[in-house]
Amino acid sequence: MATGADVRDILELGGVESENTGTINKKDIINSDKKKSKKSSETLTFKRPEGMHREVYALLYSDKKDAPPLLPSDTTQGYRTVKAKLGSKKVRPWKWMPFTNPARKDGAMFYHWRRAAEEGKDYPFARFNKTVQVPVYSEQEYQMYLHDDAWTKAETDHLFDLARRFDLRFVVIHDRYDHQQFKKRSVEDLKERYYHICAKLANIRAAPGTDLKIPVFDAGHERRRKEQLERLYNRTPEQVAEEEYLIQELRKIETRKKEREKRTQDLQKLITAADTTTEQRRAERKAPKKKLPQKKETEKPAVPETAGIKFPDFKSAGVTLRSQRMKLPSSVGQKKIKALEQMLMELGVDLNPMPTEEIVQMFNELRSDLVLLYELKQAFANCEYELQMLRHRYEALAKAGSIGPLSVEGAHPDGQTGLGIEEGKGDTKDQIIDVVGAPLTPNSVRRKVGGAEQGALRSPTQMP
């Protein structure tokens, strides 16, 4: 019969009390899991030494803390080489047999291993022997169509023989050409003669009504190309530096041209905005006053965004203060804000008036017009400064004798007539000063900006 010790061993139970008594207690059965966990926690844990790589440490112990095997073992996990699947058929025999290469004309005999079933077949790599089909002409065709006073028949035959031997590699043909027996020819001369004969023979032998692809060689273009390439290669360092300098100057000219076009467009927008605002005010004064506020808002003509200040519309639901409509938007810069405050102080207008409906509308329109006036005067000052600078440059060139004197006052060096100060007041908006900007020094830029700001702040009540 099984004793209590046997049952204890089967259930992996232990204990001093149970061993002494030889019986199984209730505590032994209930606390069996805790005892197992204590045994597992008591197992030793090995830490990887500092400085040892993880791969090297993994070779010392596996997951079960077993020593690594001394010999490689084949496991089902991971990749392994697939065994060759040998069939039951007989192995095909191989033979040491001779072969000739059709690409060779000397009849050389070579030997290699080959399957016995392929005996007598052509050499498989002979298909890669691609040759150029050089046309062949007869004596009669040469005398009737191909005769040339500059070329003899013997020289033409020699050229076509080299073309067949070297597969139209004309540099090699020119190197192997017999210059002692025949006239000295260039590569372009050889190409021109060869392709001229090929085109003639194609025209003669072609069937009527067929589209021909006749090869054409332009010898003159090829000679000019090589001459230009030789000149480019034989440039001195001074010439290379001069060319780079000219390229940089060309880029600067293109940049200044783009800037000039942008300034012209900005000036055109400002003039259009000023004219639109003026026409809008005149139309509002002439129109009869009707109490239709909503209709007035919808029937207002569209004013460009660059026309002064664009105040935000407070149409959202909720309570808003009327004074919020008098706040300047964030798109207005600090310089414009300071200039606007100075112009309002010169006009004697309060900076923060009583925000009634009429005062808010008129005050916003006044500030929008003042900002537009400021931008127009600044653009006018810039154009006037650049015009004076071009006049000084033109006078300096005229004194040097490179160009003639000015025939029209205010004319540009390229023959276009510029607008003077008085002409700019009376002419239409389509006549815009076309200025070719020159590279400015930092001092000239400071004088230019300073003069523009002083001119814009001088008299705010007069339009340029």
Identify the bridge partners of residue 113 per DSSP, sorted by sequence position: 96
Would you state the pLDDT for residue 46?
Answer: 67
Alpha-carbon gap, residue 308 to 377, rounded angstroms: 13
pLDDT at 22 over 80: no
Tens digit of each residue's pLDDT (9 = 90 or more) over 216-258: 899 999 999 999 999 999 999 999 999 999 999 999 999 999 9
Would you state the pLDDT for residue 424?
Answer: 41
DSSP 372-406: HHHHHHHHHHHHHHHHHHHHHHHHHHHHHTSSPPP
Tens digit of each residue's pLDDT (9 = 90 or more) over 70-79: 666 655 555 5
Please check whether residue 300 is in contact with residue 334, taking contact to mean a CB–CB distance below 8 angstroms.
Answer: no
- The pair of three-digit structure tokens given for residue 357, joined into one six-digit string: 């409906």
Average pLDDT over residues 202-229: 88
The DSSP code for 111 is E
The pLDDT-based confidence of 423 (bands split at 50, 70, 90) is: very low
pLDDT at 377 over 70: yes
The radius of gyration of the chain from alpha carbons, rounded to an integer in Å, stands at 50
The pLDDT-based confidence of 42 (bands split at 50, 70, 90) is: low
Alpha-carbon gap, residue 323 to 148, rounded angstroms: 98
Angle at 270 between CA 393 and CA 263, to 5 degrees: 35
Residue 131 amino acid letter: T
Would you state the pLDDT for residue 45?
Answer: 63
The pLDDT-based confidence of 443 (bands split at 50, 70, 90) is: very low
- Sign of the C-alpha dihedral, residues 67, 72, 74, 75? positive
Would you state the pLDDT for residue 432?
Answer: 37
pLDDT at 413 over 50: no
